[in-house]
Amino acid sequence: MTLLDDPRIARLITLINATLRPPKGAGRIALALCFGALCHTLFAAGVLAMIVMMFFGLSKSLGTVSWPIAALANGALIAQFPLAHSLLLTGPGGRFLARLIPGPHGQTLATTTYAIIASTQLLALFALWTPSGIVWWQAEGAVFWVVTGAYAASWLILLKASFDAGAEVQSGALGWMSLMARIRPMFPDMPTQGLFRLIRQPIYVAFTLTLWTVPVWTPDQLVLAISFTAYCLLAPRLKERRFAARYGDRFARYRAEVPYVLPRLLKDHPGAQ
């Protein structure tokens, strides 16, 4: 089996090839390129802000709201991401995304628009956070390198899980690249490869791991970790309802065979008691 036989890679190559040979249409191409540049710039900025700010346990940021009002501001920053992130994935949320861009291309750009909004939310959360100024614990010496290694590994797992789920969708590229190529966005099939063979929700699990493997612990980081861990445990239930409606018996069989968030250490055998 070659790399081109892997549907995850073959799908990306097909999309890239179509994007590199776009049909004529200067206005459409310019719009696609502008959305692509904005999407990936904000995506990189949001992820980088999250990596850096959590590395320091949210003890460093740009927020300057005075306390105790800062507690309300920080709480709003935490709440806005999961709320909008989940609502925009519903049927009405998808229709809102399609109408958000005036003209005929709103539906095609919906996944890119979603990524732009999510990236802006992440950037706002981590750039505008007002630190409490309290540091409970900071790893030092060999412990620092062990914890930092675990933090880096968590991000690599998240990267792998995102690739397994469909890199073009997770990064926001599907929308603008489909518009560029003037094709209908082709969404990945139900993910069952890679980390999805072990658990049904590897993206949420990997995201949770990044929250708990930081080398600096503050009250700020603890509140963030608890809040987003709860979201990562509960939000996939809504996602699985959509999958059940979309894939029917196929998803039911997958759900029966693959655990939710904790991989099985031993596989069941037909003759096992």
The reported pLDDT for the residue numbered 269 is: 46
Q: Is 25 left (phi over 0), alpha (psi -120 to 50) or beta?
A: left
Whether residue 267 is contained in a domain is answered as no
Number of domains in the chain: 1
Q: How confident is the model at residue 238 (pLDDT cuts 50, 70, 90)?
A: confident
The reported pLDDT for the residue numbered 1 is: 56
Whether residue 130 is contained in a domain is answered as yes
Q: How confident is the model at residue 273 (pLDDT cuts 50, 70, 90)?
A: very low
- What's the Cα-to-Cα distance from 5 to each of 82, 168, 191, rounded to whole Å? 36, 17, 16
Boundaries of domain holding 64: 3-257
Find out whether 208 and 178 touch, Cβ atoms under 8 Å: no
Find out whether 143 and 130 touch, Cβ atoms under 8 Å: no
pLDDT tens digit sequence for 112-148: 999 999 999 999 999 999 999 999 999 999 999 999 9
pLDDT tens digit sequence for 210-221: 999 999 999 999
Please count the CA atoms within 13 angstroms of the CA of 116 that sit on its side-chain side: 17
Mean pLDDT of the chain: 90
The reported pLDDT for the residue numbered 4 is: 62
pLDDT tens digit sequence for 145-178: 999 999 999 999 999 999 999 889 999 999 999 9
Amino acid identity, position 98: A
Whether residue 271 is contained in a domain is answered as no
Residue of 103 and 34 predicted with greater confidence: 34
CA distance 200 to 193: 10
pLDDT tens digit sequence for 22-57: 999 999 999 999 999 999 999 999 999 999 999 999
Whether residue 270 is contained in a domain is answered as no
User: Tokens 């630190």 sit at which residue?
Assistant: 131
Whether residue 265 is contained in a domain is answered as no
Whether residue 262 is contained in a domain is answered as no
